[in-house]
Amino acid sequence: FYLREQIGFVQQEPFLFNGTVRANLAYGDLSASHDQIEAVARAAQAHEFIQALPDGYDTWIGERGVKLSVGQKQRIAIARVLLK
């Protein structure tokens, strides 16, 4: 049973919610601090492009992440799984 808790799954075309980058990342752990969110974004190689967005982590990404490339969506999904 413990092994299942250590496994995460990221789809080829990940689902993102209509909201901010921060909210989409925090979905993995709703009680996560900004430092925890930034740490997993760095681990998923997403921090650099997130910082380049108009409002950084507070940028609205639209329904299903329409404002992001497929690769950027995948990086956010990977970070979300790491936060779990």
Residues 6+ apart with CB under 8 A from 33: none
pTM given for the model: 0.84
- What 8-state DSSP symbol labels residue 82? H
Where helices occur in the chain by DSSP H, the ranges are 2-5, 21-26, 34-43, 47-52, 70-83
Q: Hey, is 60 helix, strand or coil?
A: strand
Q: What is the pLDDT of residues 13-68, one digit of tens each?
A: 788 989 999 999 998 788 999 999 999 999 999 999 999 999 999 999 988 888 89
Banded pLDDT at 73 (limits 50, 70, 90): very high
